[in-house]
Amino acid sequence: MRRHRGDRPVGGARTGGGQGCGVSAVGPEDEYDPLTDPLPPGELGSPWFRPTGVPEEELPQQPQPVQQPQEWYDPEGYQRDWYVQPEQEPTPQPRPRPQARPRPQARPQRRPMPDPQPMFDPDPAPEPVPAPLPASGPLPVPDDETVALRTSDTRRAAETPTGPGRAERRRAAKGRGRRRPEPAPTASDTSAPAKPLSRVEARRAARALKDSPAVIASRAIGELFISFGVLLLLFVTYQLWWTNVRAGQQANQETNKIQDGWAKGRTPGVFEPGQGFAIMHIPKLDVVVPIAEGISKPKVLDRGMVGHYAEGKLETAMPADKSGNFAVAGHRNTHGEPFRYINRLKPGDPIVVETQDAYYTYTMASILPQTSPSNVGVIGPVPPGSGFTEPGRYITLTTCTPEFTSTYRMIVWGKMVEERPRSKGKPDALVG
């Protein structure tokens, strides 16, 4: 029990209190301390004030100071004054100069990882079934052993991987997990076995599987059309490509044969049909083709050569004759096509005929783009429409037109301008 001093009256006189009159039993430890007591003795509210004749239990209780939570643990029990020193501002430090960053090296491109597969547990652990609670009465309190078992089960369930196995994760990481999902069973697989068909139903099913006559006929017609198209394609390839290859080979062989005969000194005379006797040069078209006697297709024209009109009413002069029209014919398309581009000749372009004894040079005079095949006057001694008015030494080239047809004929005329013996060498048209 704390002892109080005697109350001090307002006038300054002290009244007795405690155990004696005028004297209070106050020890030196109960002296007034101005540092701890905020009010002087005798003032209302001071811990030294006590009214006379009032029991101690009825006195107003002084509010207890609120203890502030301590920031640290004080085992010795020392009192710690709550004086907080003001925070000191940190001394600004000089900012270090940024060093030059090293140039980053090119990193190798990493292979992108595949998307993580959904985690699943192929063998999930069974969940513990809780014990049934009693219908009435207090709930059972689990003992330490039960709590330990439940804790271990929970930890084991947490540590158990819930995703795929190690091999599955490894295949997924390497990108080789391309297992196709198994097809789901259909209703026909899971259903009961089908009921066997009767004889009538089996016949109807077999009849439904057979093709109708219309389907068979359409299929046969389609196969015929396909076969015809293939044959037509092969024929076109043969006409436009293979005939030129074969005719070129035959024409080269005939040219070599003619030149060999000249080298051996063969005596010129009457030539047999299909026999080569001269070579035609058209420098502008880069054409060098042998000339054979006659205009037979299988013996002359289809072999890549140029044929000389020398049969019956179509007989024409030879280059060595002093007067007349030397007329020849050749294919414009297929079988070597020596006259394909004679429509490009212009007046004055040279046409040279080489024989065993001389070179005969003609110059192109005129062209007739189209005429009837029965117009035989174009190969006469003085052909009408050529521009020639009197007999002379002329040349006529005839071929089919338009291209890839034989409906009409195209005519090109020329006039001889030079006869040069072989002993004097080639003419200027061939040398240039």
Q: What are the residue numbers of the active site? A: 331, 400, 409
Contact 412, 397 (CB under 8 A): yes
3-state secondary structure of 238: helix
Instruction: Give me the residues paired with residue 398 across strands.
Output: 329, 411
Question: What number of other Cβ atoms are within 10 A of residue 87's Cβ?
Answer: 6
The full length of the chain comes to 432
Q: Residue with structure tokens 């020639």?
A: 388
Peptide bond into 402 cis (omega under 30): yes
Whether the Cβ atoms of residue 289 and residue 304 lie closer than 8 Å to each other: yes
Do the Cβ atoms of 331 and 400 come closer than 8 Å?
yes
Residue identified by tokens 């009849």 is: 207
Residue pair 331/398 in contact (Cβ under 8 Å)? The answer is no
Residue 290: closest CA among 241, 256, 334, 244: 256
Q: How far apart (Å, rounded) are the C-alpha atoms in residues 200 and 205? A: 9
Here the tokens at position 191 are 């259903």
Find the radius of gyration of the CA atoms of the chain.
Answer: 66
Cα separation, 422 vs 356, in Å, equals 8
Dist CA 169 CA 167 (whole Å): 5
Tokens 């002329």 belong to residue: 394
- 244, 337 Cβ separation under 8 angstroms: yes
Judge residue 396's burial from the number of C-beta atoms within 10 Å of its C-beta, 0-12 exposed, 13-18 middle, 19 or more buried: buried
Alpha-carbon distance of 398 to 251, in angstroms, equals: 19
CA–CA distance, 163 with 117 (Å, rounded to integer): 9
Q: Where are the beta strands (DSSP E) in 283-388?
A: 287-293, 306-308, 324-329, 350-354, 358-371
Residue 409, helix vs strand vs coil: strand
